[in-house]
Structure 1
Amino acid sequence: MKRMLMLVLLLLAASLDLEAASITGATVYPAGATVTLTEETGPGSLNVRLPNSCDPASLMIKLADGRFKLREVELVQVARTTSPEIVSLKARIDEARVLRQQTAVALEACEAEQGFWKGALNREWPTAAEALKLNEAARTNLPRLISQRQDLAAKLSDSDRRLKELEERLKELGGSGAQDWSVRIELSGPAEARTRLDLSCFVADCGYVPAYRLNALPDKGLIEFGYEARIWQKTGFDWSRVNLTLASLRQGTAVNPPELQYWFVDVRQNFVRNERMLYKAAPVEMAMAADAVAGSVAEQQRGTYTEWQLGSVNLATGPGRLFRIAGESWPAEFVYRLRPEQGPLGFLEARVSAGEGRQLPSGEALYLVDGAMVGRQTFDQAAREQTLYFGPDSLIHCERKLVEHKTGGHGLVRNGQSYAWDYEIKVYNDRRKAARLMVEEAKPQPRDERIRVTLKPQPAFSSQDEARGVWELKLEPQTSRRLDYSIRLESSLDLEPGR
């Protein structure tokens, strides 16, 4: 009994200190955040309620004054207490549930009465007078019941919709849980002295969603880069003047060393990777205007991740706000890449160098060329050098024509086969400025040493590897260029040419 009384007193004491410590700082990750609570205190006992969805195992405590020592730390589960808005919202949800239940009962009773009258009409009555009397009563009651049932069904549907909206709003605000954690701290130190106490812990119901904007300006050799983030928190209370930092990933906090991963070497399985430059068309334009702009955002590299310090920020509990994180211009080398065998259009390609060591989390990006939207797809950045594609340009195009195709049997190569293809390729620059082009053609790759391949590109390839040959061209405005490509295959084997 004494132990039970002590537990009740402990729970009561913890619940009384709802705002004993305020949130002064937060480092927000794509999923979750590490928040810091601060309190000025002296020696003795202190009870601090931790934020909603806090992981108690992540709790860290720091004392500013070295004369103070931690004597005891105890974690206790307490009933969740939240903001007045959430309390009011829960009361409205309870009322909505009662109203829905009342409507459902009334609808059930109406359907039962309607069923009674319908059943009565199907009965056989002893006399015509009784049947006529029942028919008259049914004509009076059934229309009323049918109308009443329709009204109640519509009211029940409205109640369901309203209840769903309220419950979703409660979830947005982070008020759907029932219990949280409180920590009881015992401090020893000089009797008249006070110290700053910082508590930090990981909170799951926080995060941010990055959104990027990449506007290619080929004539200027630049990419305008914009980085915004919708930051949200559902701790149940609004954050006021919180020192906010974004991090590209959460730094490891494990106490024990990681397990050694065993090294296995196996046979590689062959596969073909299909690299496409064309984006899936965006059905709607992504809104990129930030409804909240942070002040001067400081970017810092932290080894394996990047931080952006936004300064003092107000952030209400709920779906969050959009903050502008960065806006800058990247020097870029632009070329148009054409693959005539796959299609006639040239795709705008940019090679950028955006700074060493920067880490940008994966997020949706809006791609534009000279301010016109061309598509959207996932973007991230982990490497210093990157190649980006900005979709096709109808003013840079090509035509590929098979001039001649020959096959031969034993008459041309004794006991073997031969194949020959001659292609004529014309590339066009219909733009008003000169353009750099990269024109790619596949090279036959023999899988047997007895297959002989002879290639005659005209002019010669500017660069090539085992799989492809590339012409690098510079076309003046409103001009074209002819390229020729001849392929010969010869072998004593029965060939499968692959084309």
Structure 2
Amino acid sequence: MTTQTATPVPATPAPVPLPVTAATCLEDRAHLERTATLALPAGTTRLLLGPLSPLAVDHTLRTALSDPTVRVLDARLARSWTPPRPGPPAPEASELRHRLHQLATAKRAFEAEQHRLTARLALLDQLTAELLREVGEGTGFDQPEPQRWQAELARVEADQDAATERLQQVRFELAEVGKREREASVALEQAEREPTELLAHLELTVQAEQPTNCELTVRHLTACALWRPAYRARFADGELRLEADAVVWQATGEDWSGVRLTFSTARSALATAPPLLREDRLQLRELSAEERRTVEVDLREEDIAVAEAALGALAPAELPGVDDGGEVQVLSAPAPANVPADGRAHRIPLGAFQVPAGAERIAVPELSPVVGELVSFRNPADHPLLAGPVELVRDSGYLGRGQLRFTAAGARAELSFPGSDDYRLHREVEEHRTSTGLAGLGQRSVITRTVRVHVSRLTPPEEAGEQSITLRERIPVSELAAVEVRLRESACDPRPDEVDAEGVVRWELALAPNSRRTVTFVYELTATAKVAGL
């Protein structure tokens, strides 16, 4: 008789912790670095490290060992799925989870009762229809049973009233339970986090010539992590203090604790595929007689940085990209930081500086009826300032949000702070169209526009002294010889202090307390007879 001995199944090694020690946040992902110290015996060893984020990108996995005598034979990510625990929460679960389970159970009970009552009412309606049909048939065959019919109809009507009343009560209670369940779900989401159901581990096979202790470094990309620059500006007494932060979001499934953070503007996803080449055919054709006689023109609006800065353009509602001026910038956090995997925004300080700054009251009545304060300064840092939202703060506290444009090192930057409520602006525009010359003999169309801006300063009685504001308006700029734009300075009151190449007209106005001034300027658009579209 032969005895067979069962071959022992090798036990799964216990996972070795592999925490995140450094992270490089990109525009739409993050490059993580993990380190662990391994005690390896001589020979081949299979290790299980983790858990890791299940969002790790497999083909970006890279491993390195500090001991050159140790060789990595295989490294791969293995994911395991842990389904949620059925039934009620465990006894050690929080009271909030038990409350949410009770509400969900009560909601299911009310929904089932609602379905039963709805079906019962449908059957009672069908029974009423059958009784009425029987009444009709019995009356037609001269077999009336008024007492029985009346009793049965009364019973059905009583059942309908009771079911309808109970259905309304169930619907009301169902709405209340649903409301409390939503509130409990929101509270649970803010207070606790569901355990991760999908986990990933690193399966590593190494070969060592002799027993050794070495450090393992693992690098890989992961999704659901990004960053954006943000600032906080405080202006007081001619000094501006600008604090630069990095706002980090991450929902990778694992918290980052004591991690060295680096922030890069590199866009690795843009170079993954070459552009597609398509044919671009150009065709020439003869212009028709009508096209040779007519020049089509159109008015095009262009954003002017000065006007936007004067208004304090806010950041858009959607999350914008990182504007680095076309050159990759890399910023490092001065100290390790903690970033929980809750998907919320976490501000990481990057640095701050304080510089002298000048303030100027700016009015752009074409775009806004308020007067803002434009604060300008030079970037003293040795690196550019990335574009991003700015929290505006003064001695009185938080004022609002502005936008900082990309600013190179040593370049001039502008921030718009909310101005005083003492000023009121009112803008009026008049337009007249005339023509000069004879038809067919150099006839020209002339559009004359007169713009009046009324500026009022309303102050309390105890305030004295004049204040200066800069008023900016604009006139069109022509790109065609057939259309001319001319500012009639003789008709302007007062005459403008400056007219730049972009058509921005500027006045420096001094207003005494409780005074009012009117600025008038006139410009003409002259077009030949061939121009159409004005």
For Structure 1 versus Structure 2, the TM-score category normalised by the shorter chain is 0.5 to 0.7
Give the C-alpha shift of residue 337 in structure 1: 3.3
| Contact 2:453–2:518 (CA under 8 A) maintained in structure 1 | yes
| Contact 1:82–1:237 (Cα < 8 Å) also in 2 | no
TM (norm. structure 1) is 0.68
Q: Matched residues in 2 for 1:369 and 1:467: separation? A: 33
- Return the offset for 1:46: 0.9
- Per-residue CA distance 1:419-442 (angstroms, 9 max, x = gap): 778888786777856536254442
Q: Residue by residue, what CA displacement relative to the aligned partner does 1:263-290 show, whole Å, maximum 9, x if unpaired?
A: 99999x98422556446899xxxxxxxx
Per mean C-alpha deviation after superposition, the further-off stretch among 426-435 and 130-139 is 426-435
Task: Tell me how far 1:72 sits from its aligned partner.
Answer: 1.5
- Matches of 2:267 and 2:433, distance apart in 1: 63
Q: Is the 8 A contact 1:248 1:360 kept in 2?
A: no
**Distance in 1, Cα, partners of 2:39 & 2:121:** 73
- What is the alpha-carbon distance in structure 1 between the residues aligned to residue 487 and residue 168 of structure 2? 81
Contact 1:243–1:310 at 8 Å: present in 2 too? Answer: no
User: Are the aligned partners of 1:216 and 1:368 in contact in 2 as well (CA < 8 Å)?
Assistant: yes
After TM superposition, give the deviation of residue 127 of structure 1 in Å.
3.2
Give the secondary structure class of the aligned counterpart of 1:74: strand
Q: CA deviation at 1:469?
A: 5.3
2: CA distance, partners of 1:172 / 1:54: 26
Q: Which aligned pairs between 1:41-440 and structure 2 lie closer than 5 A?
A: 41-43=38-40, 44-48=45-49, 49-80=51-82, 100-122=107-129, 123-124=131-132, 127-135=145-153, 137-138=155-156, 141-157=159-175, 179-208=198-227, 212-217=231-236, 220-227=237-244, 231-239=248-256, 241-245=257-261, 247-249=263-265, 252=268, 259=274, 271-275=300-304, 277=308, 278=311, 304-309=328-333, 311-320=335-344, 322-323=346-347, 325=349, 326=351, 328-339=353-364, 346-354=371-379, 355-360=381-386, 362=388, 364-367=389-392, 371=396, 375-376=400-401, 381=406, 383=408, 384-390=411-417, 393-395=420-422, 409=436, 432=465, 434-435=467-468, 437=470, 439-440=472-473
CA 1:485–1:161: 2 relative to 1, 3 Å: closer
| Amino acid aligned to 1:45 | R
Residue of structure 2 equivalent to 1:296: none
1:369, 1:390 within 8 Å by CA — same for their partners in 2?
Answer: no
Report the alpha carbon displacement of residue 332 of structure 1 after superposing the two structures with TM.
Answer: 3.0
| C-alpha separation in 1, matches of 2:29 and 2:63 | 19
Alignment CA distance shift 1:158-1:227 (3 Å): farther
In the alignment, the residues of structure 1 paired with residue 193 and residue 55 of structure 2 have an alpha-carbon distance, to the nearest angstrom, of 9
The one-letter amino acid paired with 2:53 is P
Distance 2:101 2:475 in 1: 68
Q: Is the 8 A contact 1:121 1:134 kept in 2?
A: no
Offset at residue 52 of structure 1 (A): 3.2
In structure 2, the residue matched to 1:292 is: none
Query: What is the letter of the counterpart of residue 71 of structure 1?
Result: L
Distance 1:382 1:104, change over 3 A: farther
1:185 shift after superposition: 0.8
Assess, with a 3 A threshold, how the Cα gap between structure 1 residues 341 and 245 changes in structure 2: closer, same or farther: closer
Aligned-residue sequence identity (percent) comes to: 13
Residues paired across the two proteins, number: 459
Query: Is contact 2:402-2:417 (8 Å) kept?
Result: no
User: What CA distance in whole angstroms lies between the structure 1 residues aligned with 2:506 and 2:106?
Assistant: 74
User: Unaligned stretches of 5+ in structure 2?
Assistant: 1-8, 135-143, 283-297, 316-326, 460-464
Q: How does 1:16-31 map to 2 (within 5 A)?
A: 17=15, 20-29=17-26, 31=28
Superposition deviation, residue 379 in structure 1: 5.1
* Distance change (3 Å), C-alpha of 1:392 and 1:35: same
Instruction: Give the distance between the partners of 2:281 and 2:498, measured in 1 at CA.
Output: 33
Q: Answer 1 or 2: which has greater strand percent.
A: 1
In 1, the alpha carbon distance for the partners of 2:147 and 2:412 equals: 96
| Structure 1 counterpart of 2:21, one-letter code | T
Cα RMSD of the aligned pairs, angstroms, is 5.3
Q: Which has the larger radius of gyration?
A: 2
SS, match of residue 13 in structure 1: coil
In structure 2, the residue corresponding to 1:108 is in which secondary structure? helix
| Cα offset, 1:144, TM superposition | 4.5
By how many angstroms is 1:192 displaced?
2.5
Partner of 2:138: none
Preserved contact between residue 42 and residue 187 of structure 1 (Cα < 8 Å):
no
Partner of 2:499: 464
Please state how far the C-alpha of 1:146 moved relative to its aligned partner.
3.5
TM-score, normalized by length of structure 2?
0.64
Q: Distance in 2 between matches of 1:46 and 1:131?
A: 84
CA deviations on 1:317-353 (whole Å, 9 max, x unpaired) are 4244644625554543332334566776544323333
Partner Cα distance (2:452, 2:127) in 1: 88
Kindly indicate whether the alpha-carbon contact (under 8 Å) linking 1:248 and 1:361 is maintained by their aligned counterparts in 2.
Answer: no
How far, CA to CA, are the matches of 2:356 and 2:253 in structure 1?
Answer: 44
Q: Tell me the residue number matched to 1:295.
A: none
The one-letter amino acid of 1:40's match is T
Q: Secondary structure at the match of 1:194?
A: strand
